[in-house]
Amino acid sequence: MKKNPLLLAALVLAGCSVLAGCSSVETHVDYDRGTNFSSYHTFAFKDVRTPDSPLALKRVRVAITRTLGSRGLAEAAEAKPDLWVVLHTRT
């Protein structure tokens, strides 16, 4: 198969355009700023609605799990975690 550099350049440009459109992510966080979070050790996700994009939800959950894990929190296997994480996503 013969390589076409013009086609490759067009595909890269199209891919960059798509990624640039995804770069404007808006995040909102709500919590009581007076809370001492050092007493919390576990968390769990609470699903409140069906996600628009299961893949996007999975990625967000993985990122949150990593971030909370890096701060010493573990995802709870039991039904009563110290913290509930509730996600509201929109695509």
CB 60 within 8 A of CB 89: yes
Give yes or no for a contact between 76 and 44, defined as CB atoms under 8 angstroms apart: yes
Pairwise CA distance, residues 31 & 84, whole Å = 11
Of all residues in the chain, what percent carry a pLDDT higher than 90?
19
Query: What is each CA distance from 36 to 33, 52, 68, 71, in whole angstroms?
Result: 8, 33, 15, 14
pLDDT digits (tens, 9 = 90+) for 47-65: 777 777 888 888 888 999 9
Amino acid letter for position 13: L
pTM of the model: 0.62
